[in-house]
Amino acid sequence: MKEYFQMFTRAFDFKGRSTVREFWMAMLFNLVADVFFAIVALPFIGDLNIYVIAYDSLVVLYCFLALVPTLSLIIRRLRDTGRSGWNMLLALLFPIGFAVLIMYLSQPSGFSVKPWIANLGGEGKTVEQLKKEVDEQNTQTYGDQNDITDVDYKIDEPEQKEQKQPEKPQQPIEATNDTDNLEHQKMLEQKKMEYKKKRIAELESLKQEGKISDEEYSEMVSKILNEK
């Protein structure tokens, strides 16, 4: 039911993406609506002509209301496979073109080997390409999180003055080293957490722009949070 209402709330979203589930669930409820109209027109079944007129009137009214939402949904579904929304014109080449269009609409996200690129801003790229770009951007900004070591923090430490320090007992030295290690570990964890927050924020932006679905967003966020 959620997918059906999304078809209307995103009626004028021609640049986003829609998953296989979103598309076919909306189409299923369109079929249910058709059956509902046939039931509503049953009181006129006594006169077949009046019944047909009543049923056709309801169907035409619904088609008028759902025309733009359905077209935008088809375009988003095609873009989610990495293809141009203009592929919907294949439906005019009935029956072969229509069958090809149904095959395209049934393919998973990012299926196309050579995705359609609408502009230099990245519109029309597959989900896999967007994920890769986000990871590369984060790596350039923060570096590889697997390569984060205590050495990263030694740069910020003030240089020790070259002077002789009085010798201290062995026990206090060990305690000081343990404290430094704990501080470095806390700083390491803090940097990793900032790195994860940045990635999640960028994924949130991609979801709001319709470039990734809610399911893909949840899966990627869960993966980020589970990283060690």
Tell me which of 51-65, 122-136, 203-217 is least confident: 122-136
- pLDDT of 60 reads 94
Its pTM stands at: 0.52
Note the pLDDT tens digit of each residue in 84-126. Answer: 999 999 999 989 999 999 999 999 887 544 444 443 344 445 5
CB 128 within 8 A of CB 139: no
Helix axes 48-80, 96-105, angle to 10 degrees: 60
Amino acid found at 27: M
Cα–Cα separations (whole angstroms), residue 12 to 6, 61, 227? 11, 19, 37
Structural contact between residues 10 and 72, judged by C-beta atoms closer than 8 angstroms: yes
For the chain, the structural domain boundaries read 2-105, 127-158+169-226
Which pair of structure tokens corresponds to residue 130? 């967007």
Residue with tokens 């059906």: 4
Show Cβ contacts of residue 126 under 8 Å, excluding neighbours closer than 6 positions.
Answer: 82, 109, 110, 112, 115
Residue 102 confidence (pLDDT): 93
What is the pLDDT confidence band of residue 27, given thresholds at 50, 70 and 90?
very high
